[in-house]
């Protein structure tokens, strides 16, 4: 390669389990190609159809290149260029004023625009901790499922994704890997070639369901009932690994009593599945003498009982002893395999603990209510980065109303002028992954990877860490951690004293670009117990939950919005609405770029032919999807030969930008801010609607 042409190691920063290793070709200072690194496990040289075109995002003419201040009305999206000096001075001055009265009136709002440990959660957290700002509870995606899994298994450790390639039986549950976990799907295809049977549980006929050997379509939010009935049959029919259960689990006798009346017939009444199918699934899954691997994902944790459902499902591999094999067990997330040093990265010790201002937490999944109603104290300033809440947070009419408050000082740091950016008072330009340094863990494999900057910042774009370093300086925060470089922060990301991360060192990382955690290959994390719960066992019975006043045994919580919990609501709005990830968007990222919008086409609503006929609706009709919270429009897709959804369910692939959706609204116009059972997560898929022909 000539001097002017080089190859740089990078990492896909998006909120996707695959965390791909990328190679960027740079010629004369300009990135000219991005490809998957061939030498890194999992990625094996392929990127998905979004990031394969990453240069279109990086060099998009829509990139924000300069700091700006609002000149139009709130939300109008009219701005004029200002200097970084003026932008940062304005923010610091406002924060200083507010902090003098009550620093908790300032709220950070960020999620997973980049998953990098440095640009995602380091200097920003240090800054807001030191300031004494309100804490943001980052619950919008995974909290319920995480809590349910943790109560049972102790941490998010699970089956090595690479091992799926050798699994003879694979159960894909609330997950659509063809769309949202492509490299795991590649392993599953390998397994299929070797003869594996693949079963998918999803109310939607997803691309994954379509390619599976057997698709079961329960009603959304009823997975807990299905899992309890599977345990009922496994126990009733003697398909339990009694030796594994005796050695490595707690509470089996109590679990047995709990599931005794969870017959397949009872679960059929909740889930809308046939009792015979539930019986068959239990017998297949529990078959003696061969491992079964479950891929469970957060798709099923977005309902009122999402935490309990995950807890019940995560009991299954211990009951059957499938954990004995590397190709058995269950995979939710690999995130807990890493010994991430979040204390060093985020420095919670900098929080001032002033007795006048006891710590105040704000739940990001109910940001609409928080902006409109919080009064202890009211939120007076919000700083948004790595997120697009106006498009992605539930109940968006409330969210918009909150952001539209004239007395709210709003800062947005972004690559693009998103729905949220339109509400900014100060809008700051952010760098893309090709312009910044970072270190990455993954929630879908077991490697650590380093992202080197490939090109100079475009325009005056700056990384998150730079912005918070500059703000810290202006606020007079003199602690040495505010002067650390990105590499210095990154070097502290993993604990040296941790059994699985102690091998990670910056020198080999930078030489090789990636390192596998200190775990064996093949890896069977709980073949001989060693669960990360307080008892060290898989906890069918959880003392921890009992102490919190929560039912300590797996149980079923039906959807909050359903005929069982709320018959009056179900009579008015009879369809269960889900809005799962689109193939060509990543949450709301990519949903402004021409290639990806063209690939998705337009906002769709998938409906079963019987539900369409009952409403006199035809394929292709423009429809209005509505409930008491709001409404949005989409084009109806009714496939008579292969219905896209089960009866009683409608699905709108998401997340479209509101301002690019024709009517200024997206799926979150109808979703609810009500929390899940565990973790106060978001309940995007616990949502009843009615659908009618659009008036226009």
Instruction: Please report, as ranges, the residues that interact with ligand SF4 according to CB under 6 A.
Output: 12, 14, 16, 18-20, 47-48, 50-51, 182, 586
Least distance CB 391 / ligand MGD (angstroms): 6
Interface region with Mo ion, contact rule CB under 5 A, candidates 57-65, 136-144, 386-394, 506-514: 136-144
Interface region with ligand MGD, contact rule CB under 6 A, candidates 80-88, 234-242, 492-500, 587-595: 587-595
Least distance CB 446 / ligand MGD (angstroms): 18
Q: Which residues contact 598 (CB under 8 A, 6 or more apart)?
A: none
Alpha-carbon span 568 to 86, nearest angstrom: 55
Q: DSSP letter string over 638-685?
A: --SSS-SB-TTEEE--B---GGGSSSS--GGGT---PBPSSTT-B-TT
* Residue 14 or 138 with smaller CB distance to ligand SF4: 14
Interface region with Mo ion, contact rule CB under 5 A, candidates 138-146, 313-321, 457-465, 671-679: 138-146
Alpha-carbon span 198 to 164, nearest angstrom: 11
Instruction: Choose the contact partner of 152 out of ligand MGD, ligand SF4, Mo ion, none; CB within 5 to 8 A by kind.
Output: none
List the interface residues with ligand MGD, window 415-434 (CB under 6 A). 415-416, 418, 430
Q: Is 337 in the site for ligand MGD (CB under 6 A)?
A: no
Pick from 87, 303, 448, 634 the residue near ligand MGD by CB under 6 A. 303
Instruction: Choose the contact partner of 300 out of Mo ion, ligand SF4, ligand MGD, none; CB within 5 to 8 A by kind.
Output: ligand MGD
Interface region with Mo ion, contact rule CB under 5 A, candidates 45-53, 134-142, 164-172, 377-385: 134-142
Instruction: Choose the contact partner of 51 out of ligand SF4, ligand MGD, Mo ion, none; CB within 5 to 8 A by kind.
Output: ligand SF4
Alpha-carbon span 383 to 386, nearest angstrom: 10
* Residue 113 or 317 with smaller CB distance to ligand MGD: 113
Instruction: Choose the contact partner of 179 out of ligand SF4, Mo ion, ligand MGD, none; CB within 5 to 8 A by kind.
Output: ligand MGD
Size of the site for ligand MGD (CB under 6 A): 58
Least distance CB 176 / Mo ion (angstroms): 13
Instruction: Choose the contact partner of 531 out of Mo ion, ligand MGD, ligand SF4, none; CB within 5 to 8 A by kind.
Output: none
Alpha-carbon span 425 to 160, nearest angstrom: 46
Instruction: Choose the contact partner of 387 out of Mo ion, ligand SF4, ligand MGD, none; CB within 5 to 8 A by kind.
Output: ligand MGD
HEC profile of 457-475: CCCCCECHHHHHHHHHHHC
Is 440:19 a contact under the CB 8 Å cutoff? yes
List the interface residues with Mo ion, window 617-646 (CB under 5 A). none
* Token pair 């810290």: residue: 472
Exposure of 461 in the CB half-sphere (CA atoms within 13 A): 23
Alpha-carbon span 689 to 499, nearest angstrom: 49
Long-range contacts of 635-638 (CB under 8 A, 24+ apart): 635/602, 635/603, 635/604, 635/605, 636/604, 636/605, 636/607, 636/612, 636/691, 637/604, 637/605, 637/606, 637/607, 638/606, 638/607, 638/608, 638/609, 638/612
**The tokens of 444 are what?**
């879908």
Least distance CB 17 / ligand SF4 (angstroms): 7
Using DSSP's 3-state secondary structure scheme, residue 629 falls into coil
Biggest CA-to-CA distance, the chain: 72
* Residue 18 or 223 with smaller CB distance to ligand SF4: 18
List the interface residues with ligand MGD, window 512-571 (CB under 6 A). none
ω into residue 522 within 30 of 0, thus cis?
A: yes
Q: Is 183 in the site for ligand MGD (CB under 6 A)?
A: no
Pairing assessment for the beta strands 68-70 and 79-81 based on DSSP bridges: antiparallel
Q: Is 687 in the site for ligand MGD (CB under 6 A)?
A: no
Residue 289's CB is within 10 A of a number of other CB atoms, namely 4
Least distance CB 223 / ligand MGD (angstroms): 5
* Residue 16 or 524 with smaller CB distance to ligand MGD: 16
* Residue 20 or 493 with smaller CB distance to ligand SF4: 20
Alpha-carbon span 649 to 688, nearest angstrom: 9
* Residue 135 or 185 with smaller CB distance to ligand SF4: 185
First to last CA, the chain: 59
Instruction: Choose the contact partner of 346 out of ligand MGD, Mo ion, ligand SF4, none; CB within 5 to 8 A by kind.
Output: none
- Which has the closest alpha carbon to 395: 219, 221, 627? 627
Please give the helix or strand (H or E) that residue 275 lies within, else none: helix 275-285
Least distance CB 138 / Mo ion (angstroms): 10
Pick from 414, 484, 539, 677 the residue near ligand MGD by CB under 6 A. 414
Alpha-carbon span 182 to 262, nearest angstrom: 35
* Residue 208 or 501 with smaller CB distance to ligand MGD: 208
Least distance CB 309 / ligand MGD (angstroms): 8
Q: DSSP letter string over 134-188?
A: PEEE--TTTHHHHHHHHHHHSSS----GGGGGG-SEEEEES--HHHH-HHHHHHH
How large is the angle between the packed helices 223-236 and 252-259, nearest 10 degrees? Answer: 110
Is 232:268 a contact under the CB 8 Å cutoff? no
Q: Is 141 in the site for Mo ion (CB under 5 A)?
A: yes
* Residue 302 or 440 with smaller CB distance to ligand SF4: 440
Instruction: Choose the contact partner of 661 out of ligand MGD, ligand SF4, Mo ion, none; CB within 5 to 8 A by kind.
Output: none
Least distance CB 623 / ligand SF4 (angstroms): 30
**The tokens of 364 are what?**
């990001």
Q: Is 141 in the site for ligand MGD (CB under 6 A)?
A: yes
* Residue 64 or 112 with smaller CB distance to Mo ion: 112
Least distance CB 186 / ligand SF4 (angstroms): 10
Pick from 108, 154, 161, 221 the residue near ligand MGD by CB under 6 A. 221
For residues 386 to 405, the per-residue mask of contacts with ligand MGD, x marking binding by CB under 6 A and - elsewhere, is xxx---x-------------
* Residue 47 or 199 with smaller CB distance to ligand SF4: 47
Is 148:303 a contact under the CB 8 Å cutoff? no
Alpha-carbon span 137 to 520, nearest angstrom: 34
Alpha-carbon span 566 to 543, nearest angstrom: 31
Sheet holding 409-414, edge to edge: 79-81, 68-70, 426-429, 409-414, 381-385, 106-110
Is 184:172 a contact under the CB 8 Å cutoff? no
Alpha-carbon span 445 to 12, nearest angstrom: 13
**The tokens of 632 are what?**
């949005």
Is 345:489 a contact under the CB 8 Å cutoff? yes
Instruction: Choose the contact partner of 464 out of ligand MGD, Mo ion, ligand SF4, none; CB within 5 to 8 A by kind.
Output: ligand MGD
Is 126:468 a contact under the CB 8 Å cutoff? yes
Interface region with Mo ion, contact rule CB under 5 A, candidates 140-148, 163-171, 202-210, 601-609: 140-148
Residues forming contacts to ligand MGD in the complex (CB under 6 A) are: 15-16, 111-114, 119, 140-141, 173-176, 179-180, 201-204, 206, 220-221, 223, 297-300, 303, 385-388, 392, 413-416, 418, 430, 464, 578-583, 585-589, 654-655, 667-668, 671, 684-685
Residues forming contacts to Mo ion in the complex (CB under 5 A) are: 141
């Amino acid at each position: 390669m000539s001097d002017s042409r080089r190859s740089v190691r990078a990492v896909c920063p998006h909120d996707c389990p695959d965390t791909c290793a990328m190679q960027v070709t740079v010629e004369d200072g300009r990135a000219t190609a991005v490809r998957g690194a061939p030498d890194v496990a999992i990625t094996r040289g392929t990127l998905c159809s979004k990031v394969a075109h990453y240069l279109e995002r990086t060099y998009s003419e829509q990139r924000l290149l300069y700091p700006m201040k609002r000149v139009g009305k709130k939300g109008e999206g009219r701005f004029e260029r200002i200097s970084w000096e003026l932008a940062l001075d304005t923010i610091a001055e406002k924060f200083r004023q507010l902090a003098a009265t009550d620093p908790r009136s300032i709220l950070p709002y960020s999620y997973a625009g980049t998953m990098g440990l440095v640009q995602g959660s380091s200097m920003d957290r240090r800054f807001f901790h030191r300031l004494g700002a309100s804490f943001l509870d980052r619950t919008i995606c995974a909290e319920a499922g995480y809590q349910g899994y943790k109560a049972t298994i102790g941490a998010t450790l699970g089956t090595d994704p690479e091992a799926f390639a050798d699994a003879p039986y694979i159960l894909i549950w609330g997950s659509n890997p063809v769309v949202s976990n492509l490299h795991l799907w590649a392993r599953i295809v390998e397994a299929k070639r070797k003869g594996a049977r693949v079963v998918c549980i999803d109310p939607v006929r997803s691309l994954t369901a379509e390619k599976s050997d057997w698709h079961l379509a329960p009603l959304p939010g009823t997975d807990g009932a299905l899992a309890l009935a599977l345990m009922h049959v496994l126990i009733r029919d003697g398909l339990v690994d009694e030796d594994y259960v005796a050695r490595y689990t707690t509470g089996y006798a109590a679990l047995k009593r709990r599931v005794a009346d969870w017959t397949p017939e009872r679960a059929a009444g909740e889930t809308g599945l046939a009792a015979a199918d539930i019986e068959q699934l239990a017998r297949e899954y529990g078959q003696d003498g061969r491992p079964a691997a479950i891929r469970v994902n957060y798709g099923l944790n977005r309902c009122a009982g999402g935490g309990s459902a995950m807890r019940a499902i995560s009991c299954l591999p211990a009951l059957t002893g499938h954990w004995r094999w590397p190709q058995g067990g269950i995979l939710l997330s690999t995130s807990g395999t890493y010994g991430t040093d979040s204390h060093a990265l985020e420095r919670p010790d900098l929080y001032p603990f002033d007795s006048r201002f006891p710590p105040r937490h704000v739940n990001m999944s109910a940001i609409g209510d928080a902006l409109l109603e919080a009064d202890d104290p009211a939120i007076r300033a919000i700083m948004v980065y790595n997120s697009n809440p106006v498009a992605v947070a539930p109940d968006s009419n409330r969210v918009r109303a909150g952001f539209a408050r004239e007395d709210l000082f709003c800062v947005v740091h972004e690559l693009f002028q998103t729905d949220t950016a339109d509400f900014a008072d100060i809008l700051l330009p952010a760098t893309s992954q090709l312009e910044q340094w970072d270190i990455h863990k993954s929630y879908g494999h077991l490697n650590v990877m380093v992202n080197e900057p490939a090109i100079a910042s475009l325009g005056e774009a700056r990384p998150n860490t730079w912005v918070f370093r500059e703000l810290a300086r202006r606020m007079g925060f003199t602690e040495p951690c505010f002067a650390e470089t990105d590499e210095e922060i990154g070097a502290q990301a993993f604990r040296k004293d941790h059994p699985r991360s102690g091998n990670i060192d910056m020198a080999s990382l930078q030489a090789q670009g990636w390192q596998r955690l200190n775990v064996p290959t093949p890896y069977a994390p709980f073949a001989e117990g060693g669960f990360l719960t307080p008892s060290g066992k898989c906890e069918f019975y959880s003392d921890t939950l009992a102490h919190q006043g929560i039912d300590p045994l797996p149980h079923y919580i039906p959807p909050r919005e359903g005929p069982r919990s709320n018959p009056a609501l179900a009579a008015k709005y009879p369809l269960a609405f889900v809005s799962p990830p689109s193939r060509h968007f990543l949450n709301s990222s990519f949903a402004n770029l021409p290639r990806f919008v063209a690939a998705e086409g337009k906002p769709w609503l998938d409906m079963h032919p019987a539900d369409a006929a009952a409403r006199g609706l035809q394929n292709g009709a423009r429809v209005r999807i509505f409930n008491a919270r709001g409404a949005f429009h989409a084009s109806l897709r009714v496939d008579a030969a292969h219905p896209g959804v089960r009866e009683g369910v409608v699905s709108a692939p998401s997340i479209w930008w509101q301002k690019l959706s024709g009517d200024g609204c997206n799926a979150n116009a109808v979703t609810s801010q009500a929390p899940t059972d565990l973790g106060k997560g978001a309940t995007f898929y616990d949502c009843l609607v009615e659908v009618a022909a659009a008036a226009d």
